[in-house]
Amino acid sequence: MEITNVSEYENVAKQKLPKMVFDYYASGAEDQWTLQENRNAFSRILFRPRILIDVSKIDMTTTVLGFKISMPIMIAPTAMQKMAHPEGEYATARAASAAGTIMTLSSWATSSVEEVASTGPGIRFFQLYVYKDRNVVAQLVRRAEKAGFKAIALTVDTPRLGRREADIKNRFVLPPFLTLKNFEGLDLGKMDQANDSGLASYVAGQIDRTLSWKDVKWLQTITSLPILVKGVLTAEDTRLAVQSGAAGIIVSNHGARQLDYVPATISALEEVVKAAQGRVPVFLDGGVRRGTDVFKALALGASGIFIGRPVVYSLAAEGEVGVRKVLQMLREEFEMTMTLSGCRSLKEITREHITADWDTPRTHPRALPRL
């Protein structure tokens, strides 16, 4: 079947992958309300396109933390990509690099920071989980820095792993031929079978639940890399992140895999953008499947977006070629959206180009019936 949009890869992946693996990637927490909402909320934002503007040239380039990229579409960290395809994170790194965009490597990758760096040049960020053993963290951050990673995306929404019921039923565990490569030498690369999700047990054993704002400061004492705080959903935490020295904020609900019934990220975005007051860039992940979604996020003030599941699904379907296609399709759709909205560069995309369901009506209410 010819693939014509990013969402179509999900079904292909479902057919190709073992049930345990597909379920792991696809699942959200508990009722999966937020999982649906991450998509649905985009459909409640409509365009206010401007016409008769010369759109013969469209410039999608942008700069993220000082790095020039070809479009505001980047790759989110997703764990254990070799479950999806034998080339896993290597394929993703190559596809991102070919597209001129940023890849974020997960702490729980099945390829190490050094291995990913060896795929060739590319601008890469490293997603960090803070382990109880801070020596492990310090070592890993140093390795990422040495391997040329340009920023740390600190995940802050996972003191415990959310309840993903499919993983519990499947007794999800990393297949025995794979390891969490970054932790292999540290004796933390394996995941034991548990009477639960194996990953949930791993997190309960290793991840530091005491993590707090002071650790965001601590992290800055062990690395000079900029820190993106990933998992912010409120104005309050935005202000704290800025005060704590964050270089940027990622509005994320962890692909709806942590706390269920948090709002869609696209619904939380504007509150965060307002609270950030332009002091740091704000990014978004969660539910982006169309170029129109990218445009909506930028219109609400995001400096860029990250895609997660589309990468693992396309990886499962077609390896590096699939991930390249996903990036290409989103690029083309986003270019189309800019063209048809009358925006020639990212800075021309404004709040006036969209209307959200929480906006006060712009038009006069219908005339009252005559008495």
How do strand 304-307 and strand 73-75 relate by DSSP bridges?
parallel
Strand partners, 75: 103, 307
- In the complex, the smallest distance separating the C-beta of residue 1 from ligand GLV, rounded to whole angstroms, is 29
Q: How far is CA 244 from the centre of its chain?
A: 22
Residue 309 assigned ligand-binding role: yes
- In the complex, the smallest distance separating the C-beta of residue 35 from ligand GLV, rounded to whole angstroms, is 12
Q: Looking at residues 172 to 201 of the shown chain, list those that interact with ligand GLV (rule: CB under 6 A).
A: 199
For the chain, the first-to-last Cα distance in angstroms comes to: 60
Choosing from 39, 163, 181, 254, the residue that interacts with ligand GLV (CB under 6 A) is 254
Q: Report if residue 230 touches ligand GLV, rule: CB under 6 A.
A: no
Distance in angstroms (rounded) separating the CA atoms of residues 72 and 331: 9
Choose among 352, 354, 334: nearest CA to 344. Answer: 334
- In the complex, the smallest distance separating the C-beta of residue 356 from ligand GLV, rounded to whole angstroms, is 28
Residue 237 assigned ligand-binding role: no
Residue 101 assigned ligand-binding role: no
Q: Looking at residues 199 to 218 of the shown chain, list those that interact with ligand GLV (rule: CB under 6 A).
A: 199
**Helices (DSSP H) in 223-344: which residue ranges?**
235-243, 265-276, 291-299, 309-341
Q: Report if residue 79 touches ligand GLV, rule: CB under 6 A.
A: yes
Q: Report if residue 124 touches ligand GLV, rule: CB under 6 A.
A: no
Count of residues that bind ligand GLV according to CB under 6 A:
4
353: tokens are 């180009």
Choose among 319, 288, 292, 322: nearest CA to 305. Answer: 288
DSSP 171: T
Residue 285 assigned ligand-binding role: yes
Contact letters for ligand GLV, residues 38-67 (x by CB under 6 A): ------------------------------
Contact letters for ligand GLV, residues 297-326 (x by CB under 6 A): ------------------------------
- In the complex, the smallest distance separating the C-beta of residue 359 from ligand GLV, rounded to whole angstroms, is 33
Residue 124 assigned ligand-binding role: no
- In the complex, the smallest distance separating the C-beta of residue 106 from ligand GLV, rounded to whole angstroms, is 6
Distance in angstroms (rounded) separating the CA atoms of residues 349 and 363: 22
Q: Measured from the CB atom, is 75 or 79 closer to ligand GLV? A: 79
Beta strands in the chain (DSSP E): 45-47, 62-64, 67-69, 73-75, 103-105, 124-128, 151-155, 227-232, 248-251, 282-285, 304-307, 354-356
Catalytic one of 85, 254, 353, 364: 254
Q: Is 353 considered catalytic here?
A: no
Beta strands in 43-138 (DSSP E): 45-47, 62-64, 67-69, 73-75, 103-105, 124-128
Strand partners, 249: 229, 282
Choosing from 94, 124, 150, 257, the residue that interacts with ligand GLV (CB under 6 A) is 257
Return the number of other C-beta atoms located less than 10 Å from residue 230's C-beta: 28
Residue 106 assigned ligand-binding role: yes
> Contact positions toward ligand GLV, by CB under 6 A?
79, 199, 254, 257
Binding site per annotation, positions for glyoxylate? 24, 129, 164, 254, 257
Binding site per annotation, positions? 24, 77-79, 106, 127, 129, 155, 164, 230, 252, 254, 257, 285-289, 308-309
Q: Give the catalytic positions in this structure.
A: 254
